[in-house]
Amino acid sequence: MIAYLVLIFAALSRFLPHAFQGVGLNLTAVGAGLLFFGSRRPRWQAIVAVAVLALTDVFLTLFVYAYPFHLGSYLVTWAWYAAVCLMASGLLRKITVLRVAAGVFASATSFFLLSNLVVWFGSGMYPHSAAGLSLCYASALPFYANDLVSTSLVAGAVFGVPVLAKKLADVMRSANNRQPLA
């Protein structure tokens, strides 16, 4: 159940930059939400994560950005959603700080590399040359940095809070089990 709540939170976080007049610069919980969902649900349920986030893509495109929706424009992004969930299902079945950090880095970096390659290739914003590709990636570095930060913070919370809560419960349980000295 908690995996679904985190996924819904991730989807809703995509609306925050628009609530603050577009100042978010990619500060969302999407990467961390996909990592957490993928680590907690069976692999086949990656389709649920893709469906939830695809619905937000459709809504944002049509109603927030007021652009026409073209399915082909989103296939790479939806494949990325599934890939992050599937990666997490293997990498994060056993939670360690190093594994979560690797998942965060892989998630944010793969999105940066893939999405900007698609922008460079599929739009007329940048020349189709090595210099144009370099410019595309350089222009997106602030978004990449913010994605790393937001994915790190949210992943730290969703993976770390349960571990912290368990440790606190263990400490309190052991303190209650100690017998006072007479």
Q: What is the pLDDT of residues 55-108, one digit of tens each?
A: 999 999 999 999 999 999 999 999 999 999 999 999 999 999 999 999 999 999
Using an 8 Å Cβ cutoff, are 113 and 144 in contact? no
Q: What percent of the chain has pLDDT over 70?
A: 94
pLDDT exceeds 70 at position 23: no
The answer to whether the CB of 30 falls within 8 A of the CB of 13 is yes
Query: Minimal CA–CA distance to 54: which of 22, 76, 28?
Result: 76
- Predicted pLDDT of residue 20: 67
Does position 179 have pLDDT exceeding 80, yes or no? no
- pLDDT of 21: 60
The pLDDT value recorded for residue 25 is 66
123: left (phi over 0), alpha (psi -120 to 50) or beta: beta
Q: Flag whether pLDDT at 177 surpasses 90.
A: no
Q: pLDDT tens across 104-155, in order?
A: 999 999 999 999 999 999 999 999 999 999 999 999 999 999 999 999 999 9
> What tokens were used for 12?
């809703």
Predicted local distance difference test score (pLDDT) of residue 82: 98
Write down the pTM of the prediction. 0.91
Q: What is the mean pLDDT of the chain?
A: 93
What secondary structure does DSSP assign to the chain, as a single string? -HHHHHHHHHHHHTTHHHHTTT--TT--SHHHHHHHHHHHS-GGGHHHHHHHHHHHHHHIIIIIS-----GGGTHHHHHHHHHHHHHHHHHTSS--HHHHHHHHHHHHHHHHHHHHHHHHHHSSSS-SSHHHHHHHHHHTHHHHHHHHHHHHHHHHHHHHHHHHHHHHHHHHHHHHHSPPP-
Q: Give pLDDT, residue 24.
A: 58
Question: Contact, 34 vs 10, CB < 8 A?
Answer: yes
